[in-house]
Amino acid sequence: MEPRVIKFPSPRLLSQLYCGKEENLAKVEQAFEVKIVTREDWLQIEGAAADQDRTAQLFEFLNSARGQGMNLSQVDFDNMLASVKRGEVAQLRELFENPLVLRFKRTTIVPKTLNQKRYLQFIRKAEVVFGIGPAGTGKTYLGVASALEALVNNCRRKSCPTCARCTTRCMKCSVRRKATG
């Protein structure tokens, strides 16, 4: 099988995708039974076509996460590798289709890890969300930022289908609800 070559904008970006650790490339090789060679700003994948595709998908997802402003950690790398290996590509694709950004007048807040993004998605979907985890992972910060965004956008009801999907439409939704209701 012909080796697949993937080019990236810079060597630094490519290195960030595998957390700058050669052992992460070895994990990918072992997980998908491929051989990976990296030089400068490119990555070469040798192996069966299906294995090359899965490896390319992994790096596509890692690049998408990086492009959305996430700082990829070892945990994120391991989670994505495991998800692609288990065939959960559709779930990962859904996670990265819509960037999740909390916007305020002077700043924007972007989740820095996959778990933070999932946490924010759960906050937007559910009435009550419990965040349990180690100190310093952003639970309170993201919860308060989400509440502040809802307050600024006049979102009063999470049970409203429009508000649950997009907090920026809440003011319109509230006006429409008052008029009809």
pLDDT in tens, 144-153: 999 888 888 7
For 115-153, how does the pLDDT look when each residue is reduced to its tens digit (9 = 90+)?
888 899 899 888 899 999 899 888 999 999 998 888 887
**pLDDT band at residue 37 using 50, 70 and 90 as cut-offs:** very high
Q: For residue 144, count other CB atoms closer than 10 A to its CB.
A: 10
Helix, strand, coil % in the chain, rounded to nearest 5:
55, 10, 35
User: What CA–CA distance (Å, rounded) separates 50 from 30?
Assistant: 15
**pLDDT for the residue 167:** 46
H or E element at residue 45: strand 42-46
155, pLDDT greater than 50: yes
91, pLDDT greater than 90: no
**pLDDT band at residue 180 using 50, 70 and 90 as cut-offs:** very low
Catalogue the long-range contacts made by 131-137 (C-beta closer than 8 Å, 24 or more residues apart): 137/113
161, pLDDT greater than 70: no
Q: What is the mean pLDDT of residues 19-31?
A: 96
pTM of the predicted model as reported, rounded to 2 decimal places: 0.68
Contact present, 56 and 64 (Cβ < 8 Å): no
Q: Supply 179's token pair.
A: 């008029």
Q: Supply 23's token pair.
A: 């052992």
Lowest mean pLDDT of 5-19, 59-73, 91-105, name the range.
Answer: 91-105
User: What CA–CA distance (Å, rounded) separates 170 from 181?
Assistant: 15
> CA quadruple 15, 75, 80, 97: dihedral positive or negative?
negative
Comparing 47 with 104, the larger pLDDT belongs to: 47
Contact present, 38 and 14 (Cβ < 8 Å): yes
56, pLDDT greater than 70: yes
**pLDDT for the residue 102:** 85
Sheet holding 35-39, edge to edge: 4-7, 42-46, 35-39
Q: Supply 106's token pair.
A: 């002077």
**pLDDT for the residue 160:** 52
